[in-house]
Structure 1
Amino acid sequence: MLPYVLRRLLIIIPTLVIISMLIFTIIKLPPGDYLTSYIAELQSQGETVDPKKIEFMRQEYGLDKPAWEQYFTWAGGMLHGDFGYSFEYDLPVTDIIGDRVVLTIMISLFTVLFTWIVAFPIAMYSATHQYSWGDYGLTLFGFLGLATPNFLLALVMLYLANVYFGSSIGGLMDPQYLNQAWSWDKIKSILEHLWIPVIVIGTSGTAGMIRRLRANLLDELHKPYVTTARAKGVPPLRRLVKYPLRVAMNFFIADIGSLLPSLISGAEIVAVVLSLPTTGPILISALQSQDMYLAGSFLMFLALLTIIGVLISDLLLAWLDPRIRLTGGAQR
């Protein structure tokens, strides 16, 4: 096990180098750069463009240098904790993400907990009561959750809250706490607003997990070892949890690789619809304006979380299911 973990850790270094090259190349692929987009925006507003100012900004941001030199400047800075300077916000990248990362992680963690708390008991009931009215009703709920886009559900809830309650459910806190230091009142305000995005974002994830966990459980419940446990008089709940549920959770553990980056990226479209101060809208804006250091730093962070998540899921799968081995070779 230890040699396997060490090999995986050593592979992370060249993997991140290749990913950083791909990210930088893809961001630079569209014609022009941030200043090109900035000039086009000024001209669309009927404002004049000072060529000397643009040239000064190009030199100041290092956009006059060759692409390879820009890449090494950015990549070398990340090794020292310097993720570059955002052109659009005129601030260091680390100053921009700040509270937004905390809020994004908070929303995502509560969403994950909501998904687990709702999905597991429903899937267990649906699998153990196959083809009952309860199973049909929960199956309908699952299909509706999968078929309804998150942003559409967010729009419906915004409309219903405005029409029937005369209030806005957008944002993640009361206006007076925006850009304010953290305090107990601010945390209470966030918790009061948190349930809307958690329900909206968690709906499709809950529905998908119910369907997958139900299908895996049904496959395990018809295997001989369950029949043997039933014949030996093992209590139903213990018989369900000890082995079938444990094996059926393999897909859930494997999803950790995508779970960690989702804690940061969040649901971008839902964040835009609900005006949530999370990292999603900033990432979209940075990609649109070719703010390469801001967008590149976000994507590199997501890549790192993905690699770490995949490693954690592989190790947990080997621990959870003895049939999975991380090393090759024949086993006697």
Structure 2
Amino acid sequence: MNSSLFTYIARRLLQLVPIVFLIILVTFTLLRLAPGDLADVIAGESGSATPEYMAQLRSQFNLDLPATTVFYNYLGNLLHFDLGFSFRHGMAVADLIVDRVGPTLLLMLTSITLATVIGVTLGVLSARYRGSLLDEAISTISTLGFATPVFWVGLVLIVVFSVNLRWLPSSGMTSIGGPPITSWAGIIELLRHLILPASTLAFFYLSIYVRVTRSAMLEVYGLDFVRTARAKGLSESRVAIRHVLRNALLPVVTLTGLQLASLLGGSIVIETIFAWPGLGRLAYDAVFNRDINLLMGVFLFSSLLVVFMNLFVDILYAILDPRIAGRRS
């Protein structure tokens, strides 16, 4: 690692400190401004909403403290890696997040991998055979991906492949009473449950990668070094892969970093439709239960996950193009 790249990484890490603090402050403020709290939910479920009972609940869950006191206490707990306690689940928030982060990461990484590999491949073919019938077909597919709502795609896939054809399960991560995930049969069962939600989430982003890759390659095709490579007698396939695609990948890497936040947001919808036991489903349940501690923990962890994924993409971008690190160090 050269000095300029090391300086660039150190500088980016220091820039994360105010970003993380701002995320905590904004998330805390928005959740405090939202109407209702855990005491309202518990009192409603018990059918007893007397002023005395409500005051007792708010005192029990520290909901009667000033907002500044709660915020300072929360910051102090964060310094000890304590995200608080979920009274609804009767567990520490950190333990709940650890239990759910695996399925969410599995869904996100599978979806983004499918979208990147298939999208870049179709984008290369579309640029390579520009104006052909293949190019028109790929452009039509990408347009459909932009125009179709993600939740609608998920519902259609459930109706076709789960209800009508009965090929794939429609919900959950594993079957009730099925084999353990540690066995080969369990892994196969997990993959069967993963196909529909991952394909649904990947379909929209696949369309974006097709458009970006096609545009980037067509732009590189017009540069001088490509004409030079052709003049040397290199085949069109080698020119496309070795020269054009390599330089067109930089916008794709940048796009991946920008899509991570929306990908995590989209997983909330997908996890709800397919009953996938991830962070999105956990946050969805916490909203209805007014579980503020759990919501804070999920939002904070999700934000940090996106921030550090973007940091990784920036570092990868600097490695692919050393001029970035030298310019910003």
TM-score (norm 2): 0.88
Aligned to 1:154: 154
Say if 2:212 and 2:252, in contact at 8 Å, map to a contact too: no
Aligned to 1:112: 112
Aligned to 2:18: 14
- Verify: 1:183 aligned to 2:182, yes or no: yes
TM-score (norm 1): 0.87
Say if 1:84 and 1:92, in contact at 8 Å, map to a contact too: yes
SS in 1 for 2:304: helix
Structure 1 residues 145 and 131, CA gap change in structure 2 (3 angstroms):
same
Structure 1 residues 265 and 31, CA gap change in structure 2 (3 angstroms):
closer
What are the residue-to-residue correspondences of 1:1-332 with 2, within 5 Å?
1=4, 2-39=6-43, 41-42=44-45, 47-49=47-49, 51-161=51-161, 163-165=163-165, 168-177=169-178, 182-184=181-183, 185-258=185-258, 267-327=267-327
Structure 1 residues 96 and 151, CA gap change in structure 2 (3 angstroms):
same
More helix by share: 2
Letter in 2 for 1:282: L
1:182 CA drift (Å): 4.9
Distance 2:37 2:148 in 1: 37
Structure 1 residues 26 and 186, CA gap change in structure 2 (3 angstroms):
same
Letter in 1 for 2:30: I
Percent identity, please.
Answer: 28
Say if 1:255 and 1:313, in contact at 8 Å, map to a contact too: no
SS in 1 for 2:127: helix
Unpaired segments ≥5 residues, structure 1: none
Unpaired segments ≥5 residues, structure 2: none
SS in 2 for 1:136: helix
Structure 1 residues 321 and 99, CA gap change in structure 2 (3 angstroms):
same
1:280 CA drift (Å): 0.7
SS in 2 for 1:234: coil
Say if 2:272 and 2:281, in contact at 8 Å, map to a contact too: yes
Say if 1:257 and 1:307, in contact at 8 Å, map to a contact too: no
Q: Paired residues, what number?
A: 323
